[in-house]
Chains A and B, each alone.
Chain A
């Protein structure tokens, strides 16, 4: 009988580093088709609609861009934080606070016009997200409180803050009782960059953010600090990098980017603040960051892959009646396969005969 054994590699495999995300996507399609067939759905159909229809149907390309943009922006921020071993999982809350801060500017400038309104909203969004991420940063650096739990708890609290604001102080007086703000004035709305489509300015901004982040992470002391503190905290301390400063930077940058994504969403697709503003982008971006190998360029591709599953999930809902919750299952499976495959970066599979002798 043939057996396999794991043998430690002398150094991590770079091929596997880039091969495992691809393998994870392929395995998700294969296992997804099998599992969905077993539980009584059209498994192959689900995989086709979720993974291929968004790519083969040109009408869906604009949706892909619009969905990928926030995922890329938030995913880039999270990949920087995770590189430094800072587990910000409250990006959804920081996204919400960015959206709320931008909404506040839009409502305060409702009767004004000017090119400066959108930049002011963007600054408010960035500050809102960063300020909300500063809370876990403060508690982590001052008191050693785990940032996973605090950042997540603050997300649940921020959802309630939306409900409160749109039901009472920010409620649209002409909204016929709907809990939502008024539609933003024209100067507070993101321009469309391709006529006749829904593609807004957030799409190129996402790409630019990823490119800048890639440049900074690979070419600057800041990026080096993030990577060293995450990979070898002891060496970093000897090298004079402050761990607390890194935690602050990691949380502020990831919070600021999540806040920017929130501003772009509220001024773009939503055009007003509504109770449905929490869209789970902040949580899905966790998968995006990992699938992109915590590398801003990889995050662009991972963001597009995840946008495909979102758009495909909507397609599958209308064409084969599959709940869009199926998307979440596919996304989680992808992350499972990716994490499982990571063992191949550090180990290689060796064939072993029963006598225990190793064949190369």
Chain B
């Protein structure tokens, strides 16, 4: 029982940053923009949140600053691809290279310095019994990720602004001709994606390991990008996908504890599992042909109206 509770809590922790980053990228892609810089923006968010937490001790300020840093970073991408119509794939890769270098530079001298993890949101009395711990034992970031799933779904499906955003992603020229600012909407979406990637990055030092290490996001940003395809651009499927990946990432714990035949698998194979699982998942969903037809029609294409 204790073990099952422990596994659930670990899975939730491992899934949260992927879920938040993927929800941000989902909104970006729905507007017709493909930002492959998620990994880089997450690393910027991770180091900024770490530095703010280390100097001020305030977790919520750290999350806020990570979001702000994510927005700033995403606007570099936005300016290049939206204002200068640079190639989105190449610019996204450049953003990841930049974020990796910037975070390593800014984090110089911060490695091996401990901070404290963000504590549970609810008072400890609520989570004394194991069952209640599964419901009330998490930090605010986890509840934020749940709320975000619903908020993104509600925004895209039920609001006028969401409708406009989807219109821009499906047919930019029509949206432009009826008077919507395609570039403006896409800038807003890219900035939102940046904020979410920044917060997702903050999950690493605040929620998972209370320290800074270079490249500590370890490809989770890329897994988030893959998950958006996996979820065929639907928020609730994204929730399921992120938890599936969280489970894959923490399976080693379960295998080691159970002592069964799985425990002979070497640690390196366990560490490679999330990446191999991503490949497998991408292959499986592409067998189901309808998945890709769900992609926003203008995804990755620059907006070039005839003057």
Contacts and interface: CB of A to CB of B under 8 A. Distances in A.
B225 A149 contact: yes
Given A149-B225, A323-B105, 11 more contacts: A89-B93, A145-B282, A153-B223, A157-B276, A161-B268, A164-B268, A325-B214, A326-B101, A331-B101, A335-B90, A340-B80
Nearest to A333: B98
A343 B84 contact: yes
B80 A325 contact: no
A61 interface: no
Contacts of B100: 328
A329 interface: yes
Interface of A: 8, 87, 89, 135, 139, 143-146, 148-150, 152-154, 156-157, 160-161, 163-164, 167-168, 283, 286-287, 290, 323, 325-333, 335-336, 339-340, 342-343
A144 B269 contact: no
Contacts of B225: 149
B269 A150 contact: no
B254 interface: no
Contacts, number: 125
Q: Nearest 7 pairs between A and B by C-beta? A: A328-B101, A325-B104, A332-B98, A164-B268, A160-B272, A323-B108, A339-B86
Contact of A283 (B97, B102, B222): B97
A143 B222 contact: no
Interface residues of B, number: 45
A73 to B, nearest CB: 19
B278 A332 contact: no
A123 B277 CA distance: 30
B74 to A, nearest CB: 13
Contact of B104 (A323, A333, A340): A323
B76 interface: yes
A161 B85 CA distance: 39
11 contacts: A143-B283, A149-B229, A153-B275, A153-B276, A286-B97, A290-B90, A328-B97, A328-B101, A336-B76, A336-B94, A343-B86
A87 to B, nearest CB: 6
B101 A156 contact: no
A194 B86 CA distance: 43
Contacts of A336: 76, 80, 91, 94, 98
B279 interface: yes
B99 to A, nearest CB: 8
A143 B105 CA distance: 40
Interface in B185-233: 214, 218-219, 222-223, 225-226, 229
A343 B86 CA distance: 7
Nearest to B108: A323
A325 B94 contact: no
B86 A144 contact: no
A160 B80 contact: no
A145 B98 contact: no
Nearest to A339: B86
B268 A156 contact: no
A163 B80 CA distance: 38
Contact of B87 (A143, A283, A339): A339
Given A139-B283, A329-B105, A160 B268 contact: yes
A156 B272 contact: yes
A285 to B, nearest CB: 11
A335 B100 CA distance: 14
Contact of A153 (B86, B89, B94, B279): B279
B101 A332 contact: yes
A135 B278 CA distance: 14
Contacts of A160: 268-269, 271-272
B46 interface: no
A150 B279 contact: yes
Contacts of B266: 164, 168
B104 A339 contact: no
Nearest to A82: B90
A329 B286 CA distance: 36
A22 B101 CA distance: 22
A326 B267 CA distance: 33
Nearest to B81: A339
A63 B272 CA distance: 34
B300 to A, nearest CB: 11
A220 B225 CA distance: 37
